[in-house]
Amino acid sequence: MERQETLVQYFTDHDGSAPSPELAKHQKMVNSPFQFLRGSAPLMYRDIASQVIQLPEALSNLPLTTIMGDCHTSNFGFLSEEGSHGETVVFSPNDFDDACFGHASWDLFRFLVSLPLAHAEAAQIQAESECEKFKAKPLADEQLVHSAQQAFLTAYIETCERSLQQKNNSQTALTEFSKGHILYKRWQKALTRVVGGEAFMTKSTLAKEVDLVQWRFKQNPEKFIPLPDDIYESLYMQFRPFMDDEILDIVMRHNAGTGSNNLGRYYVLVGPSQPHDAAKTHIVEIKQQREAAPIKYFPKVSVNNRLSAAHLTVNCQRKMQRRPDLILDDAIWQDKHWLLRSRHHARVGIDSEHFMLGKRAAEKGGVIQYALSCGEALALAHMRGDRRSVDFQSAIVECLPKQTQSLIKAANGYVQQVREDWLITKNLVEQALSKKLQ
């Protein structure tokens, strides 16, 4: 009962409600323990602060850097650099909503926790599928998942070592994958979606969301809500100065994300008014920004975290990306802080089944390949937090190899806690639904 009370208090503090079937965010979170992890990033920091989680003490002495804050297997993927304007596709972290200045060990730990949960989710998705071909795919075993945890940390350390050897730098990025790599097909898919790519006019973010004849967002009630004239005009007047071209349309975006599912979000179509040009047109997201997940429970970890939530995200994203989005800014509207950033034309995400299911994943080391790529991409992002020195890399190489087994053990212990928390929350949501139906 004590943990249930903790969870009820946590959800009340962060979501304004105890676990409820009426909140879309909570509906998503009870689908699986992995979805629960994705929707409850601050809970992990609460558990670190209260010592439910005990990280190796030596890791707290590493230099602070810019971190993702919500680092898990589905927050990496392919994207076109510089937002929708870039033609180079990279594999990198793709979610900075909880980015702040903090301990690298927080990101490392959270990713390690997410691997076994992603494995379980892939198994669940497969079991619930009605497609016989999909159900016949081999699933990576638990030993592979454990090996992937080790590989993730090994890649992270080796990337820092290469920096000390001057074999990489702040401009290094993951831009190519061999045919034998688990990510090769998804990389190829992303390449077709950049401006000029063969699928740009059909599969890019722009093509999927926008009617390129009417030059308006598509009618899609599950994703987009048309705006009343007064709200449209207010948004236009407030945000037009941030845009690099004319605003062609604005809609409200809903049911997006997991952790940020309950926050305000708008999509703005930006491009030449006449003549229309798809290559110069893109989508800008305007998103209400909440406090980064670690800050409530570690308010004094860095003075830099005292920036407004949106401004902090902008600062951290600019540091962690090799070439930041061309539109990446923050503003105040309706007494709330809003983040502005380009939607990437070539964004291709990675779900659990993409690297846990299939012969490539289960029989040819694909799970390990994925973990290695994430470890390298995360190290490069963390290293960019200080472009003046290699102090961070030196500290990692000195400290982390001695702590890898302790960190993995702590992560696997917390995996069980997440599963228990998910079950408690699922039961609370079901109880609330039952009362509602009575």
Task: Give the pLDDT confidence of 377-403 residue by residue, as tens digits.
Answer: 999 999 999 999 999 999 999 999 999
Residue-level pLDDT at 260: 42
Q: Is 387 exposed, middle or buried (0-12, 13-18, 19+ CB in 10 A)?
A: exposed
Backbone angles phi and psi of 232, in degrees to 5: -60, -45
* Cα–Cα distance, 382 to 296 (Å, whole number): 22
Widest distance between CA atoms in the chain: 67
Is it the case that residue 330 has pLDDT exceeding 50? yes
pLDDT band at 297; cut points 50, 70, 90? very high
* Cα–Cα distance, 150 to 155 (Å, whole number): 9
Tokens standing for 90?
Answer: 């990279």
How much is the CA Rg of the chain, to the nearest whole Å? 21
Residue-level pLDDT at 205: 93
Mind spelling out the 3-state secondary structure of 383-411? HCCCCCCCHHHHHHHHHHHHCHHHHHHHH
Q: Is 293 exposed, middle or buried (0-12, 13-18, 19+ CB in 10 A)?
A: buried
Residue-level pLDDT at 8: 97
pLDDT band at 262; cut points 50, 70, 90? low
* Cα–Cα distance, 56 to 76 (Å, whole number): 25
Which tens digit of pLDDT belongs to each residue from 154-192? Answer: 999 999 999 999 999 999 999 999 999 999 999 999 999
Residue-level pLDDT at 391: 98
CA atoms within 13 A on the CB side of 292: 36
Identify the CA nearest to 44 among candidates 66, 77, 13, 69: 69
Full-model pTM: 0.95
| Residue range 312-341: mean pLDDT, rounded | 94
Residue-level pLDDT at 82: 87
Q: Is 217 exposed, middle or buried (0-12, 13-18, 19+ CB in 10 A)?
A: buried
Identify the CA nearest to 81 among candidates 346, 315, 290, 386: 346
- What is the pLDDT of the chain when averaged over all its residues? 95
* Cα–Cα distance, 108 to 105 (Å, whole number): 5
pLDDT band at 311; cut points 50, 70, 90? very high
Tokens standing for 4?
Answer: 């249930």
Residue-level pLDDT at 84: 73
| Residue range 304-326: mean pLDDT, rounded | 95
Is it the case that residue 329 has pLDDT exceeding 80? yes
Q: For the chain, give the number of residues.
A: 438
Residue-level pLDDT at 83: 78
The one-letter amino acid code at 293 reads A
**Contact indicator for 390, 92 with CB cutoff of 8 Å:** no
Q: Is the peptide bond before 294 cis (omega within 30 degrees of 0)?
A: no
* Cα–Cα distance, 119 to 352 (Å, whole number): 7
* Cα–Cα distance, 416 to 422 (Å, whole number): 10
Which tens digit of pLDDT belongs to each residue from 186-220? Answer: 999 999 999 999 999 999 999 999 999 999 999 99
**Contact indicator for 73, 354 with CB cutoff of 8 Å:** no
Identify the CA nearest to 340 among candidates 438, 242, 222: 242
Residue-level pLDDT at 261: 45
Percent share of the chain, pLDDT over 70:
98
Distances (CA, A) of 175 to 80, 87, 183, 373: 10, 11, 11, 11
* Cα–Cα distance, 29 to 117 (Å, whole number): 13
Query: Which DSSP state fits 90?
Result: E
Percent share of the chain, pLDDT over 90:
93
Identify the CA nearest to 296 among candidates 97, 41, 104: 41
Is it the case that residue 43 has pLDDT exceeding 50? yes
